[in-house]
Amino acid sequence: MYKPYKRPTGILVLGATSSIAMAFSRLLARPDTHFFLVARNPRKLNSVASDLLTRGAASVVVHAMDLDETPLHPAMLSEAAASLGNIDLALIAHGVLGIQEEAQAHYEAASAILTTNFLSPVSLVTWLANYFEGTRQGTLAVISSVAGDRGRKSNYLYGASKGGLNIFLNGVRNRIDRAGVQVLTIRPGFVATPMTAHLPQGPLFATPTAVAHGILRAMQTRRDIAYVPGFWAAIMFVIRAIPEAIFKNLDL
């Protein structure tokens, strides 16, 4: 069921202290917008809340927790729904890049990446999908990555966590789109954030603000999947089209 874009006023941000989440929240801060922010670091959470209030948000509630603690999700999400009155938009923005060399050598390191990037979002989306399906409205936006489009030797644990998340979101969208709920998979390329600060930064890197504007445009146009910036759609089309016999010999 298609529903036109309606500007959200009850906004839940999970991983609210990430650079992209902060930039995106600033775009939505208005006198009628209410935020419920969740992240691990209380000091950073309070700083983000103060920033949004300064920019005009009507109210901001913060909730400090480790989102890897999936048994705590239902209580936190119920608190968010009660605080906001109605959740119009939920953005899931937390994640880790991990260290590929450690993850390919030790299962514990691999499991940590999969827990944060896949199992934690699956737990959150399961609750939120049922909530939005019940209210028959809303936008569920999840930050994935272009790395989930094809496994590469340099980051295949991170890519596997995002690839699994992409398929999971495909299925959730197929299930609740008919209830009028937008399920938006966001696939950024390289973004200049603390998570990528150790990487050499070239012309393909985008700023968190540019990515935030791309997310907002994707919401406004009711997109299902958004590559941000948009040129990554063409890049990943080429990457996916390379035959495996050639791809496995590339140094990517």
Q: Which two tokens stand for residue 54?
A: 């300064």
Give the separation between CA 215 and CA 201, rounded to whole angstroms. 22
Domain 10-248 -> CATH class: alpha beta
- Give the pLDDT band (50/70/90) at residue 151: very high
* pLDDT over 90 percentage in the chain: 92
The domain limits of the chain are 10-248
pLDDT band at residue 186, thresholds of 50, 70 and 90? very high
Give CA angle at 173 (243, 185), nearest 5°.
60
pLDDT of 199: 78
Looking at residue 212, its pLDDT comes to: 97
**100-150 pLDDT, tens per residue?**
999 999 999 999 999 999 999 999 999 999 999 999 999 999 999 999 999
Instruction: Kindly report, residue by residue over 208-237, the tens digit of the pLDDT.
Output: 999 999 999 999 999 999 999 999 999 999
* Tokens 């991170």 belong to residue: 158
pTM: 0.95
Check residue 10 and give its pLDDT: 98
Looking at residue 118, the DSSP 8-state letter turns out to be I
